Amino acid sequence: MNPSAVSRPVALRRLALVALATATVGFALAQDPAPQPTVPQPAAPQPAAPPASEALSEAMPVPPPPAVAGTAWLLMDDASGQVLASHNPDQRVEPASITKVLTSYVIAAEMKAGKVKADDQVMMTENAWRKGGAGTDGSYSGFPVNQTAPLLEMEKGMVVQSGNDAAIALAEHVAGSEDAFAALMNAYAKRIGMTHSHFVNAHGLSDPNHYSTPRDLALLGRAMARDFPVEYGYNAIKEFTVGPITQRNRNLLLWRDPSVDGIKTGHHSGAGYCLLASAKRGDQRLVSVVMGSTSEAQRATDSLALLNWGFRFHETHRLYEANTAISTQKVWKGQENEVQLGVAAPLLVTLPRGKYAQLKPSMDLPKVLVAPIAKGQELGKVRVTLDGEVVAERPLVALQAVEEAGFFKRLWHEFLMWWNAD
């Protein structure tokens, strides 16, 4: 058989299309040359040279985290949100007075929105005094019943002294009632990403419908430090005085380590001894959560051990800045022939010290990108692996819009896409 006879239909089809394309090529080339098909290239962050002090640790494996005497615990890097170590991180727990961190968050958010002010006069109502005052078994601030105090002072009484009475009074002032304030708490918790939590009061006393998880509480501490650093700073105050009563902050770590600047203790019979702690050393901040510990001293000892282990053996790197081009890819049928791709938020990764050079970043993109493309449109993913495991993954988005080209250019590109097809 003549081999040319077999290929003649294909050849005729190509000739016909060439004739059609030739009729429009002048118009198309006058607009822009056609892009050539490209294979997605791997992203390549440049590893930073490790400090000389880390030279010995590069060859050393990371030891296991310290033992913790708690029912559930977690250690998280603040910048990346990566969990460095945990035990039962998603177990439902009673947050006790750690609840007051969310109460502070709600107050700060409502203040930022202009709904309350730092110098508002907050009434210590009889309801707040009876439920959380000195006559109860819980911690209290000591503000006199049926008298007012500035909101800022009342909040510090809640944060430093862990005053249940102050928490109730603040909830009533901000939202009108405890129930209405609890609804605000749940709304803000959802925004933070606390997907396995539910709150029914502002102080944290035991209730079957009042719960959280170590992971959610770490996200709360991270959000408080990030979104409201001034209000977060109240957690580092070591003592606070109301009238004749001076009370110390119950977070023992404030006296043990100067890098610790919060966050909140908690305790009651159902929750055990709990501590949401955070420390910043250099540019790195870590958040630890210890729930259901056996004593005030033990929760502090275990929390500091976790923080020390995290800082000693882990580091955080910023791989890509937000809205900065990671890659430039070809675009078909567009007014522009290229589009820049990047990440919408900074991509950070936390990993064992000395491992940065071993990161393997790559991109997952479609073989062909076709206009129109909207600014911010997700077009693929950037993925970073270490020792075969994914340590970070983010969507790749278009950093600018690419509008659809005119008729003749689209026709010309349609032909070229067919011609180059497999």
Q: Which helix (H) or strand (E) holds 319?
A: strand 314-320
Picking from 249, 201, 248, 185, the residue whose alpha carbon sits closest to that of residue 96 is: 201
CATH class label, 14-50+319-419:
mainly beta
Question: Helix, strand, or coil here: 337?
Answer: coil
The residues, any chain, with a CB within 8 Å of residue 387's CB and separated by 6 or more, are 358
Which CATH number does 70-293 carry? 3.40.710.10
Calpha distance 373→117 (Å, rounded)? 45
The CA-atom distances, in angstroms, between 331 and each of 146, 334, 422 are 69, 6, 18
Catalytic residue among 97, 139, 288, 327: 97
Does the annotation mark 97 as catalytic? yes
Question: What is the pLDDT at residue 50?
Answer: 47
List the chain domain ranges. 14-50+319-419, 70-293
Catalytic residue among 80, 86, 100, 303: 100
Question: Exposed, middle or buried, 221 (CB in 10 Å: 0-12/13-18/19+)?
Answer: buried
The residues, any chain, with a CB within 8 Å of residue 316's CB and separated by 6 or more, are 77, 79, 80, 283, 284, 348, 349, 350
Q: Are 379 and 369 in contact (CB under 8 A)?
A: yes
Q: Would you say the pTM of this structure is higher than 0.95?
A: no
Question: What is the pLDDT at residue 416?
Answer: 82
- Helix and strand numbers, DSSP H then E, in the chain: 11, 16
CA angle 218–219–220, rounded 5-degree value = 90
Catalytic residue among 80, 86, 141, 162: 162
Q: Are 341 and 399 in contact (CB under 8 A)?
A: yes
Question: What is the pLDDT at residue 188?
Answer: 98
Question: What is the pLDDT at residue 15?
Answer: 53
Question: Exposed, middle or buried, 1 (CB in 10 Å: 0-12/13-18/19+)?
Answer: exposed
Q: Are 149 and 121 in contact (CB under 8 A)?
A: yes
Q: Is the peptide bond before 229 cis (omega within 30 degrees of 0)?
A: no
Question: What is the pLDDT at residue 141?
Answer: 93
Give the pLDDT means over successive 10-residue stretches in the chain (422 positions). Answer: 47 53 49 47 44 48 94 97 97 98 98 97 96 85 96 97 96 98 98 98 96 98 97 97 94 97 95 98 96 98 98 93 92 91 94 90 90 94 92 94 88 81 69
Question: What is the pLDDT at residue 413?
Answer: 82
